[in-house]
Amino acid sequence: MESTTYDRHRVNLQQLRYLVATADQGTMTGAARACHVAQPALTRAVRALEQELGLELLARRGRGVRLTDDGRVVVETARRVLAEVAIIEGLGRRTPVADTLAIAATPTIQADLGSGLISEFWERHPQYPVRFVSCESRQLVGEAVLGGDANVGVTDLPAGEGLVAVEFESREVIVMVPPGSGLPEPLPVRMLGELPLILPTKGGLRRAAFDVMFAELGIDPPVAFESDERASWTPAVLAGVGCCIWYRRQGDVGGAFGAEVRSLDPPLQRPIGVVHRPGETSPAVAALAALADERATAART
């Protein structure tokens, strides 16, 4: 009689989930809390995964841990595996209509569909309807996700504490200036303090974000025009009212209408990512996070 022996020490999905949670939280304590499991059990599972693979995946860093080079490769692969498993599990629930994926985002992120991330998500996963939850600022994006008003956010980072963030791109900050300005390219950052700027209305969260940036740069620019309706910014620049600070993509759109675009020296970059609640396991959220991670991996290669 033929018998079959199965190895009881093989990589399993729970180990992968614990490893990804540890990478997201930065500590095993935080990962255990996010996974609703005792820390010793999570630690044993991750160590067993390292032994099974014969690789060191995590290295100590103060009170936390960091991924080794091998660990980053394993985590990137694990995210994709878990996303596909979540989709399969979703099919098994036999839900007749897929739940709508509510995505919290600022107007700028919505305008270009998160640099095309959302349109690519639609193409790959047409079974998930998408609804945008409009938020004035990245802080409100984080609050919407934490509070359950949205399943996930696509936003500038950081969006607040207590969220898992998957950065997928870094956006260049530029200055859109009126035609014939004669301003240098690139524009020294210190010169921002001398330019009349178009900004959101004082007292709002979006304006507060600009004020924080100006404080970090050590400048106090004059304000030429205030409006929370960003659709008015490009016409105001073209009319010579002032300059506006925006992302490269929006600047290129303004440039097509005749505005001039200036890079900054030194360059300014802002990380953009997908954020979700720790322990979020819905197939749609997992699929969007996996797509963001895929983009991040492609950008590094």
Q: Is the pTM of this model over 0.75?
A: no
88-132 per-position pLDDT tens digit: 766 655 444 457 899 999 988 998 888 899 999 998 888 889 999
pLDDT one-digit tens code per residue, 237-291? 999 999 999 999 889 989 999 999 999 999 999 999 999 998 866 889 999 999 9
**Which pLDDT score is estimated for 5?**
37
Token pair of 60, please? 């100590």
User: Encoding tokens for residue 208?
Assistant: 């507060």
What is the rounded radius of gyration, in angstroms, for the C-alpha atoms of the chain?
23
pLDDT tens readout for residues 27-66: 988 888 887 777 888 888 899 899 989 999 999 877 789 9
Q: How far apart are CA 195 and CA 207, in angstroms?
A: 17
Residues facing residue 104 across a β-bridge? 133, 153
Kindly state the percentage of the chain with pLDDT values over 90.
Answer: 56
Q: Which residues make beta-bridge pairs with 92?
A: none
Kindly list the structural domains of the chain, giving each domain's residue range(s) and its CATH number in brackets, ordered by start. Answer: 13-90 (1.10.10.10), 96-170+270-300 (3.40.190.10), 171-268 (3.40.190.290)
